[in-house]
Amino acid sequence: MRFLTGFCFLFLIGFSVYGQAGKPKAAAPKQLTAEKAKAGKGNVQSMYNVGCYYYYGTGVQVNFLTASQWLTKAANKNHVDAMLLLADIYDEGGSGVKKDATKCLSWYKKAAAKGSSDAAYELGEKYENGDGVTENMVEAVKWYTIAAEKGDGDAMIALAFCYMDGDGVTADQTEGRRWFLKAAEAGLPEAMRYLGDFFAQADMGNDCKNAITWYMKAADAGDSVSVKPVGVMLMKDECPGTDKATIASWMKRKADDGNAEACFYMGGFYITGMGVPRNSGRGMEYLIKNHELSGISGAARNYSTNNLFTLYNSGELPESDKRVLLNWFEKTATETNDDEMMAVIANIFLNKEPASGNDYRAGYEWALKSAERGNPGGCFWLGFIYYKGLGDVPQSDSKAFSWILKAAQKGDKDAMKLVSSFYEFGTGTTRNPLKAAEWKAKAEVEE
C-alpha cells in the first residue's frame, strides 16, 4: 500500500518534501556561482544547494548527474536531505543517471541511521512492495515502526494496517487502532477515516455512532471521501440513538460549501425527512446541485439524475416544482447531449399532465434527438409515437416497428416484448411466429 505520492510528486510540484532546505528560490547565475564558490570552500549547505539547483532545474537545466555529484559531496558530510535526494535520483533514474536500486536503498538506510523518519518510511514501502528489494513484511514493519515512533503519520497508518491484517507482525486489532488513533491525533484525515471504517465493521463491534463521529472529523479535516459513509449510515437509519438533526445540519453545511456528495445526501434527507422537515422541493434543489457539481451524464450517470427522474414521476412535487425540474431537464440535456435524459423528457411529454402540457410534438422531437444518438429509450418512445399516431405525427406501423426493433436490439426488454407481438400479428412487418418466439424468449431472459 502507498500512502504518499512519493518522489514523482516531488518532481511535479517542484519542492522538497524533506523540509531542511527545500527548493532554492529562482536564482540568477551570479547566485549559483556564489553558492559554488562557497561549496568549493567546504560549505556543506552550499554543496546541497548547488545540487538542488541542478536537481530541480532552478536557473539551470535539470541535470541529475551534476546534481548527484554535488549532493554526494554533501551527503558524505552527513547532510540528511542530500541523502534523501540522492536516493530519489537513483530510485527514478534519468537525466544522466541510471536507476540503481542498491544505491537508492543504501542512501535511504544512511539517512534513516541519521534519524530521518522520511527515509525509514520509504524503506518500509520498499520492503512491503518488493520495490528494488525482495518483499519482506517483517522488514517493512521494522522500518514503519522506526518512522512511526519518530512521529511520521503515514508510517503510523501503514503500521496500523500491518497490525490489523497481521502482515509481518502478529495480528492485533487493539494495536492497529492505537496507531490509527495516533495518526489521527497527528492530524491525518485518512487516519480519521480509517478509524471510522474500523468502528463501522461488524467484527470490530459495529459502533456506528463512533464511526460517524470519526468520519465527520475526517471530512472536516479535508477528507471529502468521508462524507459519503456519513450519508449512507444516516440514510440506512440503522444506528439507534444517532442525533439525526445534528448530522443533517452538518451535511447541509458541507453541501452549501460545494461538496457534491453532501448535496446528494441532503437531497435524500429532504425527500425522506431524515433529520430535516420533509421538503421534496428542497431535495430537488440539492440533487440538481449534485448533478451540476459532479458533471456526470450519459453512460456515467450518477444517482442524483436517476433520483430526479423518479422524483418527477413520484407525485411528491407540486406542479410549480415539476415545471422547474422539466425546464432543467431540457436545459441540461441540450447542454450535455445526454441522450438518456432526452428519452426521459420524451416520456414526460407523452404523459397527460399539466407540467408538460401534453405536448406530443415536443415529445416527438426529444425522442428523435435521443434515438438519433442511439439511445434505446429514445428509439422506443419514437416507435411508440408512430404506433399511436400521437399529435401531428401520422400513425405508421412500419415506422413504429422499425424504431422499436432498434430499441429491442439495444437491449430494451419492453421493446423486445413489443417486437415479439409485432412479429406474431404481422404489425408493421411480415408475420413471423418463429421470430416472435425468439424475441419473447429474449425478453424473458432479460427479466
| H or E segment and range at residue 121 | helix 117-129
| H or E segment and range at residue 369 | helix 360-372
pLDDT surpasses 90 at 327 = yes
What band does 219 get if pLDDT is binned at 50, 70 and 90?
Answer: very high
What band does 280 get if pLDDT is binned at 50, 70 and 90?
Answer: very high
pLDDT of residue 13: 25
pLDDT surpasses 70 at 25 = no
In the chain, pLDDT over 70 holds for what percent of residues?
89
Computed over every residue of the chain, the mean pLDDT equals 88
Between 336 and 358, the higher pLDDT residue = 336
Grid cell locating 134: 525482495
Amino acid identity for residue 135 in this structure: E
Least trusted range by pLDDT, from 235-249, 348-362, 373-387: 348-362
pLDDT of residue 59: 82
In the chain, where are the structural domains located?
A: 357-447
Q: What average pLDDT does this structure show over 439-443? A: 93
Q: What average pLDDT does this structure show over 114-143? A: 96
312-316 LR contacts (CB < 8 Å, sep 24+)? 312/348, 314/280, 316/271, 316/280
pLDDT surpasses 90 at 316 = no
User: In Å, how far are 23, 38, 50, 68 from 31, measured between CA atoms?
Assistant: 14, 11, 10, 20
In the chain, pLDDT over 90 holds for what percent of residues?
74
pLDDT of residue 84: 96
Q: What average pLDDT does this structure show over 419-427? A: 96
Q: What average pLDDT does this structure show over 247-275? A: 95
pLDDT of residue 446: 67
What pLDDT, in 10s, does the model give residues 35-76? 999 999 999 999 999 999 999 888 888 999 999 999 999 999
pLDDT of residue 20: 39
- φ and ψ of 209, to 5 deg: -65, -45
pLDDT of residue 17: 34
pLDDT surpasses 70 at 372 = yes
* Selection from 400, 332, 393 nearest residue 359 by Cα: 393
pLDDT of residue 292: 86
Instruction: Tell me how long the chain is.
Output: 447
pLDDT surpasses 80 at 302 = no
User: In Å, how far are 19, 27, 32, 142 from 73, measured between CA atoms?
Assistant: 19, 21, 17, 29
Task: State whether the Cα torsion 413-416-417-418 is positive or negative.
Answer: positive
Contact 147, 124 (CB under 8 A): yes
pLDDT surpasses 80 at 257 = yes
Instruction: Look at phi and psi of residue 319 and say left if phi exceeds 0, alpha if psi is from -120 to 50, else beta.
Output: alpha
Look up the CATH number of domain 357-447.
1.25.40.10
Grid cell locating 3: 500512502
